[in-house]
Amino acid sequence: MKKLVNAAVVSASLLSPAYLLLIVNTGTAIPVAAGQFASIGLPGVCLRRPFSIHDADGAVLSFLIKIVGGGTRRLAKLKPGDTLSIMYPLGNGFMLSEKPAVLVGGGCGLAPLLLLAKQLQAAGARPLAVLGGRSKDDIVELGALAKYAAVRVATEDGSLGARGLVTAELNDLKSGAAVYACGPEAMLKALHKLAAEKNFHLQLSLEALMACGVGACLGCVTDTLKDGRVCVCSAGPVFNAEDLPW
């Protein structure tokens, strides 16, 4: 059940030069499935902005945000006690499977994976999380994630973990695993190809430019094999890899 709330900012702290951890109190505890997102209204910015729910603990939500433009720069300037209009939880979220779980995040694609690892652990699993980025500055929240998952890291410049792409870390993946991924489209497309070769079940969280976040403006459509053209915000953002015509 989605709600529009005025949430109080608890903290907005920089984790690295480009990554912000925003914590808010919405005043109401609403169940959130990992992979669902929130649409955040910013004072002085015309369109609301979508962000994955990074963690949810009762009425307290956190967001892991990469600062890329005007809206996210404003979020980085928030102070405790400021208020934000937040509509959540939106979208479908990941379907939890009983198969061995591997979480793959690229850059701010780590955002929905913390809550996912937490929910998988609560269901009795011990997931493996594989994180990738251009450099060590793209790898944040390792300590938080390590509470719920074994973690492997790959950076393109080798400044943290293995040198190379995150997909190279999946070479020893057993067939039959359940892989949950979020990150840049190039990474998702490489995983899509690998899933067919290695026979693992893959769920992908897609990004799209979004205005309404609730299936009304048709600004975020994508093609699927099963249902044709659908809105990423309401039919997704999580899709089974085999439903995507990539």
Ligand X SMILES: Cc1cc2nc3c(=O)[nH]c(=O)nc-3n(C[C@H](O)[C@H](O)[C@H](O)COP(=O)(O)OP(=O)(O)OC[C@H]3O[C@@H](n4cnc5c(N)ncnc54)[C@H](O)[C@@H]3O)c2cc1C
Which parts of this chain interact with ligand FES (CB under 6 A)? 210-213, 215-220, 231, 233
User: Which of the choices ligand X, ligand FES, none does residue 216 contact, using the CB cut-off of 5 to 8 A by kind?
Assistant: ligand FES
Q: How many CB atoms lie within 10 A of CB 228?
A: 8
Identify the DSSP state of 31: -
Based on the shown chain and the rule CB under 6 A, indicate whether residue 72 belongs to the binding site for ligand X: yes
Least Cβ distance, residue 39 to ligand FES (angstroms): 8
Neighbouring-strand partners of residue 52: 37
CB of 42 closer than 8 Å to CB of 118: no
As a whole number of angstroms, the distance between CA 130 and CA 170 comes to: 8
Buried/exposed 133-153: b ≥16 CB within 10 Å, e otherwise:
beeebbbbbeebbeebbebbb
User: Which of the choices ligand X, ligand FES, none does residue 183 contact, using the CB cut-off of 5 to 8 A by kind?
Assistant: none
Based on the shown chain and the rule CB under 6 A, indicate whether residue 43 belongs to the binding site for ligand X: no
User: Which of the choices ligand FES, ligand X, none does residue 218 contact, using the CB cut-off of 5 to 8 A by kind?
Assistant: ligand FES
Binding residues for ligand X, how many (CB under 6 A)?
21
User: Which of the choices ligand X, ligand FES, none does residue 72 contact, using the CB cut-off of 5 to 8 A by kind?
Assistant: ligand X
- Chain center to CA of 171: 23
Specify the amino acid at residue 15: L
Q: Which is nearer to ligand X, 173 or 230 (CB)?
A: 230
Based on the shown chain and the rule CB under 6 A, indicate whether residue 37 belongs to the binding site for ligand X: yes
Among 65, 78, 120, 231, binds ligand X (CB under 6 A): 65
Q: Which is nearer to ligand FES, 86 or 125 (CB)?
A: 86
As a whole number of angstroms, the distance between CA 127 and CA 181 comes to: 13
Query: Residue 97 has which token pair?
Result: 């499977």
Q: What are the residues binding ligand X (CB under 6 A)?
A: 37, 49-52, 63-66, 68-72, 108, 111, 207-210, 237
